[in-house]
Structure 1
Amino acid sequence: MDFLKKLFQSKPRVQKVDIGRRFELYGRVGQGSMSKVWKARDSKLGKIVALKVLDIDKTNRLEARFKGLKKPTEGEIAITLKHPHIVKTFEHGVTTKNEAYLVMEFVEGVALSFLISAQNDVMKKHCLRMTIELGEAINYFHRQNWIHRDICPRNILLDENHRIKLIDFGLVVPNTPHFQAPGNRTGTANYMAPELIRRQRTDQRIDIFSYAVTCFEMFAGQLPWESGQTLESILSHLNSPPADLKTYCPDLDDRIVQAVMKGLALQTNDRWQRISEMIEVLRSVHQEQSAKDPANS
């Protein structure tokens, strides 16, 4: 738990940054529920970056849910993450307007949600490899003892080489008892695990469920349940089994189908207990397929 001790130690006074003077903003490239992101030139780093600025009020409301628990900030978490399939964070701090900001690598590419909708040749050819890369990113995340809490296609980018980059750590919490306590329901509704929607105790298995929903959507081009507009309607969907991936993808290897469907189990004990176990199945199939047809690796 040394990483938590370091994060929770008192921190030195931070020098605030005037982002209007330091950054040349080229245009907005994204907006989440709690932030705005620009493509920008950083005069300090001397390169193009993604500048993320968090909304003060929304961030404060989120932090209030963890009052007294010393929850690490998004910047404190992001700066520690070093993995090829997780977006790099170079710096974090506070603006002269008291907004939290992050300076990240700029990923020249598209959102995974775009490719899922398009179901184009890139998606069809590299889908399995992409699911493995995403799983490896989440596995690394879990080994660092975090729960992401918002795994979904809008938080996943593909660079110009069609390689996965996991982004957005605004809802991340430590995988520790206090942060696993029932009641804190956050995330993207269609990808939430049943226990999270029901405000039960949660752990890293909620990320495994969200990952499995994302994998299902990547292969099938649609969700395993009918998309809901409210958490209540989604809860009713989760009282029934998911659609069978094999129905939508009859030619998909049975091992992939079984791996994804196990990740979608409504009961946590029926689900994969560690994401590494699910990835191992997918990787084994990918290795076999690559050996037969290297062009599709």
Structure 2
Amino acid sequence: MANFLKNLFAKKSRVAKVDVARRFELLSRVGQGSMSKVWRARDNMTGRMLAVKVLDKMKTERFEARFVGLKKPIEGDIAASLQHPNIVHTIEHGITTDGEQYLVMDFIEGLSLSYLVDVQNEQMRDNCLNYVIQLGEALDYLHRQNWIHRDLCPRNVMVDPDNTVKLIDFGLVVPNTPDFQKPGNRTGTANYMAPELIKRQRTDQRIDIFSFAVTAYEMFAKRLPWDVPDQETLETVLQHINKPPKPISQFTPHIDPRVAEVIMKGLQTNPTDRWQTMSEMLIPLRKAHEEIEAKRQMEQKLKAASAKAKAAKTKDGSAAVAAKAQKAKEDDDFFEQILFGEGTTKVDKPKTIPTTTAPPKEKREESAPTKPRPTSSKPAEPKAPVAKSNPNKTKTPAPKPIPKSASPDIVIEDEFDGIEIEVEGHKLDAVAADSESADEFDGIEIESELPVETESPLKPSDVDRKFSTLLTEEAQEANRVQADAPLADDGDEPVLRLPDDD
């Protein structure tokens, strides 16, 4: 201990006074404490971005006056001696031309821990225990270097983009020696001060353990362990040291019970009931953190595997749907080929499926005899003669049909199916009549084997103009009987028939 104090307070060469405004380009104010101001600055010699802290001269002298005769080291000397990943690196320190102490430190691009406590965003929720442990490791290192911080709180902690915690302020740090442990020096931030410090009792590193427990409590619960107003006063501080802290699990049910137990033990009013060292306090915190992280990684792996399986299932489902659609398309193509033919494509397909044509009205009414009805005043137009084959006759060429242009005024009755003419005395189912007697004509019965007078064949124009007939039921029956009877073979005499009901 004697060698430590001797080396600490030995006379050292001081750096020359520096005109901070000329040496550095002060870009913007990034922080201000009760005893200092901090700028974001660029070193004009190297171009490096730095943080320049300038201490208020009068406030610093007032604070150091409390340790008259003890030769308390200045902040620059303490900060420059600390080398730890969770403590900001101090590059240089000295005295300005105005007689103020200044420190040049790495500029931390990040967020204040006090801000993260207030917002409680996803970053804070996911890394809260990790931040607590990092801050505890910085404090443990400080204690092992035989220092007491005396002002540990979220305001004096930064978190960089890599989620690395940095302890940045050492204005109230004192050596952890008997001379500086004496009661009477009551400095710090009120809501984080240990009860023995407020009561002006003897202090040691355990006051930092109490402040650390309050800070950890606030990081998880976003509140202090006691009900206190927004404005800090000594009366409120005296009230909270006389009341037990509220259980942290009351405000954060998700907190691990082991972590909650560690924090609550650090808040004990009696120093002997707290954790005695930071190293001891960090052991259960690290163990809980390792198990929690292992569980979280396992959950992430299971979640990733579940998502992968779900994606694969969705892919298989999509493939099944596509296969089903392809099968439906193949079925449609198969039925289309059956309906429209093998070589039919969609372009060649008819727009509508062909339907069976209804039989002619004559066929539908063949079985039911029709009653004769009078013809209209206008003679019915007979249909053009069509040659009808006879199995007992030699087939001969049929006469040319009557051109339609020759009979523009002829009307065909529904019941009239044409004229049957047998040449050379066979059969004639028509009669010449004057157009005036067409209404009284009801049909003609012709006996079989009637001789026919040899006359010149009727011209188509005469037939179209003069002949119109309506066969009665009896005439139709007689015609069918005669049609079915075998005809005498007249050699090469042609037989000409017009279409009938058959």
Counterpart of 1:284 in structure 2 is: 287
Answering whether residue 133 of structure 2 is matched by residue 132 of structure 1, we say: yes
One-letter amino acid of the counterpart of residue 141, structure 2: Y
For the structure 1 residues 20 and 295, does the alpha-carbon distance in structure 2 shift closer, same or farther, using more than 3 Å as the test? farther
Structure 2 match to 1:15 = 16
Aligned pair count reads 297
Measured at CA, do residues 47 and 293 of structure 1 come closer, stay the same or move farther in structure 2, by a change above 3 Å? same
CA distance in 2, matches of 1:262, 1:255: 11
In structure 2, the partner of 1:245 is: 248
The aligned counterpart of 1:267 is 270
Deviation, 1:295, is 8.9
Structure 2 CA distance for aligned equivalents of residues 290 and 4 of structure 1: 43
Q: Structure 2 counterpart of 1:190, which letter?
A: N
Q: What are the ranges of 5 or more consecutive residues in structure 2 without an aligned counterpart? A: 301-502
Q: Distance in 2 between matches of 1:11 and 1:285?
A: 45
Equivalent-residue separation in structure 1 for 2:25 and 2:228 (angstroms) = 39
Give the partner amino acid of 2:180. Answer: F
Q: Is the 8 A contact 1:193 1:209 kept in 2?
A: yes
Q: Match for residue 4 of structure 1?
A: 5
Q: Which moved more, 1:240-249 or 1:37-46?
A: 37-46
Evaluate the alpha carbon distance shift between residue 223 and residue 39 of structure 1 in structure 2; reply closer, same or farther with a 3 A threshold.
Answer: same
Label 1:268 to 1:16 Cα distance change in 2 as closer, same or farther (>3 A): same
Amino acid in the other structure paired with 1:255 = R
Q: Deviations over 1:41-62 (max 9, x none)?
A: 1124431110000000000000
For residues 299 and 167 of structure 2, what CA distance do their matches in structure 1 show? Answer: 22
Contact residue 53 and residue 99 of structure 1 kept, 8 A: yes
Q: Which residue of 2 aligns with 1:207?
A: 208
- Higher fraction of strand: 1
Deviations, residues 236-274 of structure 1 (Å, cap 9, x unaligned): 211110010010111211110110000000000000000
More contact order relative to length (CA 8 Å, sep ≥ 6): 1
CA root-mean-square deviation: 1.4
Residue 184 of structure 2 is matched in structure 1 by 183
Contact map agreement 1:125 1:296 (CA 8 A) in 2: no
The alpha carbon displacement at 1:162 in A equals 2.0
Q: Which residue of 2 aligns with 1:219?
A: 220
Shift of 1:296: 9.9
> Which stretch has the larger CA shift, 91-100 or 39-48?
39-48
TM-score when normalising by structure 1: 0.97
CA offset digits 1:105-164 (Å, max 9, x no partner) = 000011000000001100000000000000000000000000000000000001112211
| TM-fit CA distance, 1:13 | 4.3
**Maintained 8 Å contact 1:36/1:52:** yes
Q: Distance in 2 between matches of 1:98 and 1:13?
A: 13
> Bigger radius of gyration, 1 or 2?
2
- 2:25 alignment partner AA: E
**Scaled by the length of structure 2, what TM-score is found?**
0.58
Question: Which residue of 2 is the match for residue 39 of structure 1?
Answer: 40
Partner of 2:239: 236
Taking a change above 3 Å as real, the CA distance of residues 288 and 41 of structure 1, as seen in their structure-2 partners, is same
Aligned 8 A contact 2:14 2:94 in 1: no
Measure, in 1, the Cα distance between the counterparts of 2:124 and 2:254: 16
How far off its partner does 1:166 sit? 0.5
Map 1:28-177 to 2 at 5 A. Answer: 28-177=29-178
Q: Which consecutive residues of structure 1, in runs of 5 or more, have no partner in the other structure?
A: none
Partners of 1:162 and 1:111 in 2: CA distance: 11
CA distance in 1, matches of 2:91, 2:22: 18
Take 2:107 and 2:158, find their aligned partners in 1: how far apart are those partners? 11
Give the aligned residue type for 1:66. F
Letter in 2 for 1:242: P
* 3-state DSSP of counterpart to 1:195: helix
Cα distance in 1, alignment partners of residues 6 and 131 from structure 2: 34
Q: Distance in 2 between matches of 1:181 and 1:196?
A: 10
Is the 1:290–1:296 contact (alpha carbons within 8 Å) kept by the matching residues of 2?
A: no
Structure 2 CA distance, aligned partners of 1:68 and 1:267?
Answer: 31
Instruction: Name the SS of the counterpart of 1:243 in structure 2.
Output: coil
Q: Shift of the alpha carbon at 1:19?
A: 0.7
CA distance in 1, matches of 2:213, 2:27: 36
Asked whether the 8 Å contact 2:43–2:49 carries over to 1, the reply is yes
> 247-256 or 55-64: which moved more?
247-256
* Equivalent position of 2:415 in the other structure: none
C-alpha distance in 2 between matches for 1:120 and 1:13: 45
Q: Distance in 1 between matches of 2:276 and 2:258?
A: 17
